[in-house]
Amino acid sequence: MGGRLAKLPPPVTQLPRALPVPKAKPLTRWQQFAAKKGIVKRKRSKLLYDETTGEWRRRHGYKRANDDNDIPIIEAKATDKPGEDPFAALAAEKRERVKTNRAAQLANLKQAAKKAGPGVLPASLRLAATLPGEGGKVGKGVGKSLRRKELKDDIKTASRLAGISTASIGKFDKRLTGEKPGERAPLGKRRNFMPVTDTKAERSKAGSIAEKLLKERSDDILDIRKAMTRMESQAREERHQAKRKREEESDGRGGAKKGRKAGGGGGRGGKKGGKGSAGKAGSKGAKGFKGAAGKAGKAGKGRR
pLDDT above 80 for 275 = no
**In the chain, domain spans:** 222-257
What is the structure's pLDDT at 283? 44
> Are the C-beta atoms of residues 48 and 59 closer than 8 Å to each other?
yes
Q: How far apart are CA 93 and CA 96, in angstroms?
A: 5
Question: What are the pLDDT digits (tens) for 115-143?
Answer: 776 666 665 544 444 544 444 444 444 45
pLDDT value at 184 more than 70: yes
pLDDT of 294 over the 80 cut: no
Q: Kindly tell me if the per-residue pLDDT of 295 is higher than 50.
A: no
Give the pLDDT confidence score for residue 99 in this predicted structure: 94
Q: Give the pLDDT of residue 10.
A: 92
CA atoms within 13 A on the CB side of 157: 6
288: pLDDT confidence band, cut at 50, 70 and 90? very low
Q: Helix, strand, or coil here: 50?
A: strand
Complete DSSP assignment for 181-208 = GGGGPPSSPPP-PPPSS--HHHHHHHHH
Give the SS3 label for residue 254: helix
pLDDT at 238: 93
Do the Cβ atoms of 147 and 129 come closer than 8 Å? yes
3-state secondary structure of 304: coil
Q: For position 39, what pLDDT does the model report?
A: 92
pTM tops 0.85: no
Please give the mean pLDDT across all residues of the chain.
74
The pLDDT score that the predictor gives to residue 178 is 78
User: 7 in helix, strand or coil?
Assistant: coil
In tens, the pLDDT along 237-252 reads 999 999 999 888 888 7
Phi, psi of 197 (to 5 degrees): -80, -35
